[in-house]
Homo-oligomer: A and B are copies of this chain.
Amino acid sequence: VAQDARQRPTLNDVARVAGVHAGTASRALNGDPQGGVNPATAERVRAAAEQLGYRPNQVARGLKMNRSFSIGVIVPDLTNPIIPPVVRGIEQRLGPAGYTVLLGNTDHEPEREATFVDAMVARQVDGLIMATARSVDQPLAERSALLPIVLVNRTATSVDLPAAVPDNHGCVELAVGHLAGLGHRTIAHAGGPSGTSSGTERLEAFRRTCAARGIVVDDALVASAERYTIDEGRRVGRALLAGEAPISAIVAANDMLALGCIDAIRERGLRCPQDVSVVGINDMPFADRFDPPLTTVRIPHYELGVTAAELLLERFAQPQADSRLVQLSPELVVRASSGPAPGR
């Protein structure tokens, strides 16, 4: 693989033009915390740098300082619309702090994930933010010995890492509360993958919340998807609707599953929300333009990203501090996929 050999000015070039030594130039440009640099000299160096269009080689810098000023972000699926806001939040917080973000997309494949982590570690990223955690994630434990890792959106129970996640219990409470307020008494749950913290926590929250409100949840009213896709939502929705007891509402573990449930409802010749209400979780982009506009629980994805970035920065500052778990509050967004229980 040949390469353009365009030469960019080095610190040495700057030093030569300014008539000083490279070490001095380095100090002048970086504002050495120790001894000072003669203001006149510093000015001369800055002028030379300016004139040559000097940009420090961060690679060399990183090699020397054992830092790369970049951090890796690993996501399960960039085309999942809730992910970009997270990435943006991370970037927005880390950019001003001097870091560039490297992005890796795993397509949900643990193997690709491993490849990316390797590639990033090889590039000496200063830290990793991962949105791909599985509940039991052994490799994660080993990796966290290699470099600081922060989790976002999901957590892992197998290892204690800082994490920024939604308040899953709060999400479900909001959804169930909304439906209960509308008179629904037979509420089903289209659960998320059992291997994810969101899946298991939301399911557990569903049971607890219903119990607290005196709503019975028998086993036929709960089914879990294997992935957060519309197709899986449709499959789970069909299963729920096929049960003995007629259900009047479904709380889906996320918006994609909710969309699939709506498909399943229509397949049976029922209407949403007149016959069956559906509430999702996420408030994904365009949720307001679907047919029907989706009632859902908004999760602040951008803030999730910002918070994860902050947790990583905290880690850098205090590597030994305890892992913090930050739970962000959700918000109910009522649209048209939910309505009064039939017969009310």
Which residue numbers of A lie inside 8 Å of B, CB to CB?
1-6, 8, 55-60, 62-63, 66-70, 78-79, 81, 83-85, 87-88, 91, 95, 100-105, 115-116, 118-124, 126, 145-148, 259, 285-286, 289-292, 316-319
- CB atoms of A105 and B87 under 8 A apart: yes
- Chain B residues with Cβ below 8 Å from A121 are 8, 55
- Chain B residues with Cβ below 8 Å from A91 are 104-105
- Beyond A6-B147, A317-B1, is A285–B81 a contact (Cβ under 8 Å)? yes
- Chain B residues with Cβ below 8 Å from A57 are 63, 122, 124
- Chain B residues with Cβ below 8 Å from A62 are 59
- CB atoms of B105 and A102 under 8 A apart: no
Nearest to A85 among chain B residues (CB) is B79
- Ordered by A's residue number, 5 sampled pairs between the chains whose C-beta atoms are within 8 Å are A6-B147, A55-B122, A58-B119, A70-B123, A79-B84
Specify which of B8, B103, B286 is in contact with A103 (CB 8 Å cutoff).
B103
Distance, CA A70 to CA B147, complexed state (A): 20
- Beyond A102-B102, A105-B87, A120-B100, is A3–B316 a contact (Cβ under 8 Å)? yes
Distance, CA A101 to CA B123, complexed state (A): 11
Q: Taking the full assembly, how many copies of this chain does it contain?
A: 2
- CB atoms of A8 and B146 under 8 A apart: yes
Nearest to A101 among chain B residues (CB) is B103
Nearest to A146 among chain B residues (CB) is B6
- Chain B residues with Cβ below 8 Å from A123 are 58-59, 68-70, 100
- CB atoms of B79 and A68 under 8 A apart: no
- CB atoms of A318 and B58 under 8 A apart: no
- Beyond A59-B59, A63-B59, A124-B58, is A105–B88 a contact (Cβ under 8 Å)? yes
Distance, CA A290 to CA B317, complexed state (A): 47
* 6 A-B pairs with least C-beta separation: A291-B291, A103-B103, A78-B84, A58-B122, A79-B84, A4-B319
- Beyond A79-B84, A84-B79, is A3–B126 a contact (Cβ under 8 Å)? yes
Chain B: minimal CB distance from A256 (Å): 10
- CB atoms of B2 and A319 under 8 A apart: yes
- Chain B residues with Cβ below 8 Å from A2 are 316-319
Chain B: minimal CB distance from A235 (Å): 17
Chain B: minimal CB distance from A255 (Å): 10
Specify which of B60, B70, B95, B259 is in contact with A102 (CB 8 Å cutoff).
B70
- CB atoms of B146 and A3 under 8 A apart: no
Nearest to A73 among chain B residues (CB) is B103
Nearest to A107 among chain B residues (CB) is B88
- Chain B residues with Cβ below 8 Å from A56 are 122
Distance, CA A126 to CA B123, complexed state (A): 14
